[in-house]
Amino acid sequence: MKGKTTIYDIAKKLGITAATVSRALNDNSRISKATKKLVLETAKEMNYEPNKLALALKKGKSNNVGVIVPYINRNFFSSVIRGIEEELYPKGYNVIISQSHESEEREKEIVNNLMNAQVEGILMSLSKSTNKTAHFNQVLSKNIPLIFFDRSLNIAGVSSVTIDDFQGSYKATQHLIGQGCKRVAHMTVGKELGIYRQRFDGYKQALEDNDLPFDDNLVVELKSDIEEGKQAAQKLMNLQDPPDAIFSSTDHGALGAIKWLQGNGYSIPDDVCVVGFSNEPFTQFMELSISSIDQSPLEMGKMSAKVFLEQIKDKKVKIEKKVVLSPKLIIRDSSSKHIVPNKKAN
C-alpha cells in the first residue's frame, strides 16, 4: 500500500528539486509564480498533505499541550480533560494525554517527554507519590507554562486550579451532624497528599465547631477503592463505640462502606449515614443514591485551559494564578434522615 505523498514525490514527477517544491509550497519569493502554480496544482492532484507538526515546529510552535493525570479511567479526570479540550481545541491546540499511574518516576519521565516534544504548556494533577520538584523547575526554566489542577504543590511561578477541599469536607461533616449524628467517622486516602489532608482538616474543624470530640479510632486510612471501603467499614463498626455516620474522602470508599453495611444488616441512613467525595456518576444511579461533594471537574478543566491561554499570550509577563472553586454538597438518600432525598445544597 502506497504511503502519503511527499515533496520528493512531487519533485520527481515535475523533474525539479525537493527544495524547490518546499519553497513553492511555502510561497517563497525566490520561486516564480508559474512554478508555484504548477507545484500547487500537482500537490492537489497527488493528494499531498503537509506535515502540520513539522510546519509548526519550524515556526517555533507545536500547538500541542500536555495533560498529565493519575488515571484516565476515573470520571473526575476524564471530565477535567473534556473541559480542557473544549477550551483549547477551538483555539487550535491539540491535547496530548498521559497517565502517571500515581508514580513520581513515571510522572518525571512524562514531563521530560513532553518537553522534548516541544509542548506549549503542561496541565497536570500530581501523582500521590510526588514530593520532589526538580522536574517542575525544569519546565519553568524552559519558560513553559505549568498549571496544576486538583492536586497541587505550592511552587513559585506555577498556577493552580483546585477545589476548596477543606470547605467541601466541612460541609459534608456539618451536614451529617445536622442529621443528628454524634459519632462521625472519616475514611481518608492518606494525609500526605494535600487534598486529603485538607479534607481531614475540614472534617476535624466541623467536629470542633459543634463541640464533638475528635476520636482517632474513627479515622481509617484506605486506598480509593471499593474493597478497602468495605474493610474500613467493618473495622469501624467493630469498634466498641461504633460510628453513626461515615464521611469518605472518596466515592469509591463510600460505595464500599455502603455495600458492607447493607450486607451486614445495617439500615442506611437510619443506622449509619454515609457521604462521599467527588460526585462520581454512579452515586446518583445506585438504588440507594449516595450523597457526595461535587468537584465541578468540567469547570476545573475549562478554567485550567483559560489560565494556560492567559499565560501563553505573553511569556515575558510572569502570571501566577491560584484559582479555588467552591465545592457543592449534593444530598441524596444515603444521608437523608430529615430532608427530601436528591435535594441539591450549595
Domains of the chain and CATH, by start: 7-50 (1.10.260.40), 64-162+298-325 (3.40.50.2300), 165-295+329-345 (3.40.50.2300)
- What pLDDT shows up at residue 345? 42
Residues 90-94: contacts with CB under 8 Å, at least 24 apart: 91/309, 92/63, 93/63, 93/64, 93/65, 93/120, 94/63, 94/64, 94/65
Question: How many other CB atoms are there within 10 angstroms of residue 133's CB atom?
Answer: 13
DSSP run (H or E) holding 232: helix 226-237
Question: How many other CB atoms are there within 10 angstroms of residue 239's CB atom?
Answer: 13
The CA distances from residue 328 to 47, 72, 116, 226, in Å, are 52, 23, 39, 23
Q: How many CA atoms lie within 13 A of 128 on its CB side?
A: 11
- What pLDDT shows up at residue 343? 42
Q: Can you tell me whether residue 213 is helix, strand or coil?
A: coil
Tens-digit pLDDT profile for residues 127-158: 988 888 889 999 999 999 999 999 999 889 89
Report which of 137, 164, 160 is spatially closest to residue 149, judged by C-alpha positions: 160
* Residue ranges, the chain, pLDDT below 50: 1, 339-346
- What pLDDT shows up at residue 56? 58
Q: Which three cell numbers stand for residue 58?
A: 519550524
- What pLDDT shows up at residue 54? 59
Tell me the C-alpha distance between 322 and 344, whole Å. 27
Cell 515535475 locates to 14
- What pLDDT shows up at residue 193? 79
Paired residues of 160 in beta bridges = 148, 322
- What pLDDT shows up at residue 58? 57
Query: Measured over all CA atoms, what is the biggest interatomic distance in the chain, rounded to whole angstroms?
Result: 92
